[in-house]
Structure 1
């Protein structure tokens, strides 16, 4: 699947970033049995944070784009957990998405759809997953979105 994943990303005009280093005292992922638990990945593009609050500075489309970037970072962490071999990735199990949003903003699911849709575009049925999408009054570094994930590997 590794070549298939890289090929599909290329077809979509995307590439995986280097797996981001942790910003504090934690590890970017933990493997337990055939599961990889990836720590929250914040919204970044080309090394710059995507910041702002949904319902104030950002709209749903901008939030969904931020979530897509989180999904790419999640895949980069899975690739690192698999020693560079994404063919070991068998499915996305669960995502938990946090959206930096105003109290009145209620479209957190539409924002996190950016990540969910990307994973299905890239991985097909293996990208379908369970999910939570929750509001956060603030996120680290004022990022727009943070997403953590659980992945199954062979």
Structure 2
């Protein structure tokens, strides 16, 4: 095992782990950050989504060595100053969770999307969230929550749409 330094949620940590250990395991087991979930373990469901240098990444198939010198942000690192991140507030307002297991990955992926495209169209939201699965069927509310967060960031506001599949 090597001592590996990494920056998570703005805090530098040193962990004793193999360089090829999945980032997800280090976050949950070594750093006790339980918001990032193990879903499929194959990089197919998005439950383990984190930000690496501001870009969405699947932590279950990201080896620890790949985050050396990079900033990792988990769901725990999104709120600022004790207030929920605007996406977290929008997810609550829109009741965009059923069981909630996928929610942290959804919110983190949506944060990366809104950082890249502050006012995305419904098609851009659907494309940006395609890697994240919700088996409970909360996608329409999730889309509305992302639209709400984007709209609330825009002074004028614009009506949102509810589904990726509606015209």
Bigger radius of gyration: 2
Query: What is the TM-score normalised by the length of structure 1?
Result: 0.32
**TM-score, with length taken from structure 2:** 0.30
The higher relative CO (CA closer than 8 Å, separation ≥ 6) is in: 1
